[in-house]
């Protein structure tokens, strides 16, 4: 069959959904399956990304607006290109297509904490997302927590919601030489010891409390905090100023968005990853850090609890004191860091993009067979 893949989001920042999409596609293309993948881009510069890849066709779908691309351009392309199943690795789906459809839900923080979304996005979440959920023949959830939320908030029948965990690139498990590590340290001017935050900065990430907790324990121990990620320009402006407000300019190092191929070295060099989020459906940095043998301090709720409990220090994310205490314990106890590294590696041993791709394709084949 011809599987159409909606990739309007494929030129966004290098955060979790972009990583997920890229890794999933590359794994799908390696499966021993007879299907053809038709990649639908909005940005014409992306055509040719997979040039030379067998069973892959790349098409630019023109549209002036996001909604026009989703609901006018894509349906026309589906009909023109003879697509049998339409799949979006991010939420949204073309509502007027007649072929079976599926999309990936990376979390419903918009419903759990709607105050963290822009007003225009809240309108989309209220009026469009429920329609995408009703239209889809299948929704892929990245965790059991996400599956429960899809059924609860979007009223989707259990048989249409499938939990498929994300994978982890083998590079995060692969050994790195001291020369490799020192090269990255020099390139990014990383301190000899540091704590790490990875990802975007926006309200669900709890960045303000993280900085307040770090201020209590990091500088007194002489350990800086490195931010490998970037801002959400609509939501994070105030939070980004928290280090400066607390006089931490000399202690908080901004590395910007770091290429995925370089992140394994960041995890290996860091004393711990700090991700005490108010909400995570999955928390890809947590999985990556555990695979790389980096100790993790994360939240005791939602997806991070589901994936990391027993292999990380879990904290109450609304308590600055609890976060600070956990950071201090991890910094002061090298034996604890070693135990967490070992437990983390064991926890993520079963996570692979090949498994994610195979289970995703099973879902797409299933809705095609039932059509």
- pLDDT, tens digit (0-9, with 9 covering 90-100), for 309-346: 999 999 999 999 999 999 999 999 999 999 999 999 99
In this structure, what DSSP letter does residue 259 have? P
64 and 111 assigned to the same domain:
yes
Residue 110's pLDDT band (boundaries 50, 70, 90)? confident
136 and 71 assigned to the same domain:
yes
339 and 211 assigned to the same domain:
yes
pLDDT for residue 318: 97
Checking if the pLDDT of 233 tops 60, the result is no
For 122-154, write each residue's pLDDT tens digit.
677 777 999 999 999 999 999 999 999 999 999
Which residues span the domain enclosing 93? Answer: 2-167+352-370
60 and 123 assigned to the same domain:
yes
For 243-293, write each residue's pLDDT tens digit.
999 999 999 999 998 998 999 999 999 999 999 999 998 888 999 999 999
Pairing of strands 85-88, 272-275: unpaired
341 and 240 assigned to the same domain:
yes
Is residue 82 within 8 A of residue 2, CB to CB? The reply is: yes
Q: In what order do the strands lie in the sheet with 85-88?
A: 56-60, 36-41, 2-6, 85-88, 101-105, 138-141, 161-163
Residue 17's pLDDT band (boundaries 50, 70, 90)? confident
289 and 200 assigned to the same domain:
yes
101 and 249 assigned to the same domain:
no
Q: Kindly state the percentage of the chain with pLDDT values over 70.
A: 95
Q: What is the mean pLDDT of the chain?
A: 93
* Whole-prediction pTM: 0.87
If one counts the domains in the chain, the total is 2
Checking if the pLDDT of 234 tops 70, the result is no
174 and 238 assigned to the same domain:
yes
13 and 116 assigned to the same domain:
yes
114 and 262 assigned to the same domain:
no
335 and 356 assigned to the same domain:
no
Residue 360's SS3 state is helix
Distance separating alpha carbons of residues 278 and 286, to the nearest angstrom: 14
192 and 229 assigned to the same domain:
yes
Distance separating alpha carbons of residues 270 and 191, to the nearest angstrom: 9
What is the number of helices (H) and of strands (E) in the chain? Answer: 17, 13
Q: What is the CATH number of the domain that holds 196?
A: 3.40.50.2000
* CA-closest candidate to residue 309, choices 173, 175, 194, 144: 144
* CA-closest candidate to residue 4, choices 96, 95, 77, 91: 77
């Amino acid at each position: 069959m011809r599987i159409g893949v909606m990739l309007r989001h494929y030129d966004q920042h290098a955060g979790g959904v972009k990583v997920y999409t890229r890794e999933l596609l590359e794994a799908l293309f390696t499966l021993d399956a007879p299907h053809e993948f038709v990649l639908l881009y909005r940005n014409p510069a992306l055509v040719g990304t997979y040039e030379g890849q067998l069973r892959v066709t790349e098409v630019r779908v023109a549209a002036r607006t996001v909604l026009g691309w989703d609901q006018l351009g894509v349906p026309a392309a589906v009909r023109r290109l003879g697509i049998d199943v339409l799949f979006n690795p991010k939420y949204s789906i073309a509502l007027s297509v007649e072929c079976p459809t599926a999309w990936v839900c990376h979390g419903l923080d918009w419903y759990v904490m709607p105050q963290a979304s822009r007003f225009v996005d809240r309108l989309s979440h209220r009026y469009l997302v429920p329609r995408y959920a009703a239209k889809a023949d299948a929704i892929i959830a990245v965790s059991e927590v996400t599956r429960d939320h899809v059924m609860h908030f979007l009223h989707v029948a259990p048989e249409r919601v499938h939990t498929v965990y994300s994978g982890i690139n083998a590079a995060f498990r692969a050994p790195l030489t001291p020369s490799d590590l020192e090269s990255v340290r020099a390139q990014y001017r990383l301190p000899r010891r540091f704590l790490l935050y990875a990802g975007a900065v926006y309200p669900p990430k709890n960045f303000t409390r993280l900085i307040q907790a770090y201020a209590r324990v990091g500088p007194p121990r002489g350990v800086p905090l490195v931010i490998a990620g970037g801002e959400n320009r609509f939501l994070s402006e105030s939070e980004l100023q928290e280090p400066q407000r607390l006089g931490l300019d000399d202690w908080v190092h901004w590395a910007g968005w770091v290429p995925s191929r370089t992140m394994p070295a960041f995890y290996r060099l860091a004393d711990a990853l700090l991700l005490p989020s108010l909400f995570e459906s999955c928390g890809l940095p947590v999985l990556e850090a555990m695979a790389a043998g980096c100790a993790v301090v994360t939240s005791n709720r939602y997806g991070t609890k589901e994936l990391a409990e027993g292999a990380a220090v879990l904290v109450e994310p609304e308590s600055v004191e609890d976060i600070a205490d956990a950071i201090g314990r991890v910094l002061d106890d090298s034996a604890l860091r070693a135990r967490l590294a070992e437990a983390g590696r064991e926890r993520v041993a079963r996570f692979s993009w090949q498994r994610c791709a195979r289970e995703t394709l099973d879902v797409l084949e299933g809705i095609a067979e039932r059509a």
